[in-house]
Amino acid sequence: MSQKLAGKVAVITGGSTGIGLAAAKLFVAEGAYVYITGRRQAELDAAVKDVGKNITAVQGDVAKGEDLDRLYAQVKKEKGRVDVVFANAGIGELMPLEAVTPEHYEKIFGVNVRGLLFTVQKALALMPDGGSVVLTGSVAGIRGNASFSVYSATKAAVRSFARTWTSDLKDRKIRVNVVSPGPIDTPILEPIPKEAVAGFIAQVPMGRIGRAEEVANAALFLASDDASYITGTEIFVDGGSGQV
């Protein structure tokens, strides 16, 4: 059986834990050379050791343009191109509307919207025609969960980006799609109160929390030629929580 990403060069942001790490393992297993980025060096080092081969970690914050420039400069120097971008880095915090501050807004939008936008924009100069971009959205982008207004708005913006970028990049045959998880057992849930997480899981028709590997499988599908006629769309990996 042929590997789905044989010979491809992939960049995965937020690649040191959770969905990003699961995707890095899967992409490497399917033949890609993967660059991961994240803010914490210790977690990056552990991820590289965990994956074991065909992976390079570049420490950086997607909200900082200079960090993205440094990432892509290294990719350009070492590989000369990037075939797949999985713009996965994201943060979330519960904050009721009356408590939202400018700092909270700037923090969440800085990573989830500005960081994601420039992760993709800065990759384009290195991306051959026919490349693939996968964005991490969320079921929160279509739901109205209390105290999640800023995070949910960022994920609605991500969905919008996929539509407009599909039009922007159609002449280059670069596909742009979104994978939108429901509640997934990853470190992003750690700062969220346990009762809130239990509430999210209670909304899932399948009755359980998802695994990072289940989201990674969808990201691989969208990144690969298996999805060659799919662009501008959103695939939910949410146990049905946003669908019924």
DSSP 8-state class, residue 210: B
User: What is the crossing angle of helices 149-168 and 102-109, to 10°?
Assistant: 40
For CA atoms 36, 39, 41, 42, the dihedral sign is negative
For CA atoms 49, 44, 88, 223, the dihedral sign is negative
What is the rounded CA–CA span in Å between residue 16 and residue 25?
Answer: 11
105 is catalytic: no
219's tokens: 């990201």
Strands 9-13 and 33-38: parallel
Q: Is residue 12 helix, strand or coil?
A: strand
Which of 33, 35, 72, 151 is catalytic? The answer is: 151
Q: Are 86 and 13 in contact (CB under 8 A)?
A: yes
What is the rounded CA–CA span in Å between residue 104 and residue 143?
Answer: 20
**What are the catalytic residues?**
151
